[in-house]
Amino acid sequence: MQDLEALEAELFAELEAAGDLAGLEALRVSALGKKGRLTEQMKSLGQLDPEARKARGQALNAVKDRLQSAMEARKAGFEEAALEARLATERVDVTLPARPHAIGHVHPVSQTIEELVAIFGEMGFSVAEGPHIEDDFHNFEALNIPAWHPARQDMDTFYLRSDAEGVRPVLRTHTSPVQIRTLQKTTPPIRIICPGRTFRADSDATHSPMFHQVEGLVIDEKTHMGHLKGTLIEFCRAFFGVDELPVRFRASYFPFTEPSAELDIGCARKDGQLIIGGGEDWLEILGSGMVHPKVLENCGIDSSRYQGFAFGMGIERIAMLKYGIPDLRTFYDSDLRWLRHYGFVPLEAPSVVRGL
Ligand code: PHE
């Protein structure tokens, strides 16, 4: 049995020397593997007589058990140390300053649309939308702009390729076709605004081939010019945030309204700066008028019973005036520096400065 004691001592010395999980595994193979030192001893038991076999078998098993539990304890120790080491390197230093969090900005056009929707929403308007690609009827004909009408020339229309029947679709030149689509499918009362994209073949500092308009439409039995004026004055004062904002209605002409009026707001120009509110100057803001009875009839609405008003304005234009943006073309340059400067922090974005 002395040889067994020596073997056990040898195995435990090797266990002591094993520095990591790989060392442990090597020891396991060399002691308990197929040709391991303890395994070989087990195999040679068969050559002993029964008495000696029993005693040596028990002794061998005892060595094997001691070695196995010692190896397990060692393994647990290695694993714990590995975990400790990982935790130490992965510890979060909560005293480090926070990384700056880049928040996207709301484009001035989106911001202005939101403001329009909020102001008109409070007055009881809802939002209607329509397609960008229109047909002649909705963009022109129904709006009392027949093919020979000079207003067609003013619009710089983008035409698309004609279809098989020779019908030529257009990119809508204004948001007024949404007015037509709403009139066709709704029985008054109607009170809507239609913000959206519009297209005209025109490009300079104040014109872009793609721009945005908002159209407004109110139809019921008794709406008159006084409502038109009240609604638009209220809107201008709310939008520009000037309570006593001077406004003036100027007689104008649109084929789809009669009478028609353009609205100007009072402003001053001092040292190249535009001040909205005071002063001797006027700025044109929007077009409006009482919806022409022909337009109502074109949409199947009885013009002897129903009447109302419509208005339309350019969204970029009023955004430029309110936020002092000098050039329309910059709206679509996709320049992030511009957007950071003129854009708006979204309301729902968490910010350390503003709180949640
Ligand atoms: N559709 C007109 C334009 O684009 C604006 C407008 C709308 C005028 C409604 C009067 C009434 O110029």
pLDDT tens-digit readout, 181-232: 999 999 999 999 999 999 999 888 888 999 999 999 999 999 999 999 999 9
257 lines ligand 1 (CB under 6 A): yes
Q: Please give the backbone phi and psi of residue 225, each rounded to the nearest 5 degrees, phi first.
A: -55, -30
Of the two residues 350 and 192, the one the predictor is more confident about is: 192
Q: Among 254, 257, 263, which residue has the most ligand 1 atoms within 8 Å of its CB, making it the best to mutate? A: 254
Q: Among 143, 153, 173, 215, which residue has the most ligand 1 atoms within 8 Å of its CB, making it the best to mutate? A: 215
C-alpha 216 – ligand 1 centre gap (Å): 9
Query: Under the phi-then-psi rule, with left for phi > 0, alpha for psi from -120 to 50, and beta for the rest, what region is 39?
Result: alpha
pLDDT of residue 354: 47
Atom of ligand 1 at shortest distance to CA of 216? 9
pLDDT value at 318 more than 90: yes
Give pLDDT tens digits for 21-58.
889 999 999 999 999 999 998 898 889 898 889 989 99
pLDDT of residue 101: 78
Highest mean pLDDT among 46-60, 84-98, 250-264, 273-287: 250-264
The answer to whether 74 and 81 have CB atoms below 8 angstroms apart is no
pLDDT of residue 284: 94
pLDDT of residue 332: 93
Q: What is the rounded distance in angstroms from the CA atom of residue 350 to the CA atom of residue 327?
A: 31
pLDDT of residue 271: 81
Nearest Cα residue to atom 2 of ligand 1: 312
288 lines ligand 1 (CB under 6 A): yes
Highest mean pLDDT among 13-17, 101-105, 198-202, 218-222: 218-222
C-alpha 310 – ligand 1 centre gap (Å): 8
C-alpha 330 – ligand 1 centre gap (Å): 24
pLDDT of residue 292: 98
Q: What is the mean pLDDT of residues 245-263?
A: 96
Nearest Cα residue to atom 8 of ligand 1: 287
Alpha carbon separation from 322 to 104, 115, 277, 316, 318 (Å, rounded): 21, 12, 11, 10, 6
Confidence of residue 272 (pLDDT cuts 50, 70, 90): confident
Give which of 14, 10, 31, 36 is closest to 23, Cα–Cα: 14
Confidence of residue 104 (pLDDT cuts 50, 70, 90): confident
Domain boundaries, the chain: 2-89, 108-348
Of the two residues 225 and 146, the one the predictor is more confident about is: 225
Mean per-residue pLDDT of the chain: 91
Alpha carbon separation from 51 to 45, 55, 64, 158 (Å, rounded): 11, 7, 20, 109
Atom of ligand 1 at shortest distance to CA of 288? 10
Q: Among 176, 190, 207, which residue has the most ligand 1 atoms within 8 Å of its CB, making it the best to mutate? A: 176
CATH superfamily of 108-348: Bira Bifunctional Protein; Domain 2 (3.30.930.10)
Query: Under the phi-then-psi rule, with left for phi > 0, alpha for psi from -120 to 50, and beta for the rest, what region is 2?
Result: alpha
Q: What is the rounded distance in angstroms from the CA atom of residue 310 to the CA atom of residue 287?
A: 9
C-alpha 250 – ligand 1 centre gap (Å): 14
Q: What is the rounded distance in angstroms from the CA atom of residue 171 to the CA atom of residue 135?
A: 8
pLDDT of residue 350: 53
Beta bridge partners of 192: 126, 217
Q: What is the mean pLDDT of residues 276-280?
A: 85
> What percentage of the chain reaches a pLDDT higher than 90?
68
- At 71, list the tokens: 């190896």
pLDDT of residue 98: 85
pLDDT of residue 348: 62
176 lines ligand 1 (CB under 6 A): yes
The answer to whether 289 and 136 have CB atoms below 8 angstroms apart is no
Nearest Cα residue to atom 10 of ligand 1: 288
194 lines ligand 1 (CB under 6 A): no
Nearest Cα residue to atom 4 of ligand 1: 174
Of the two residues 156 and 186, the one the predictor is more confident about is: 186
Q: 184 by DSSP, 3-state: which?
A: helix
pLDDT of residue 154: 66
pLDDT value at 351 more than 60: no
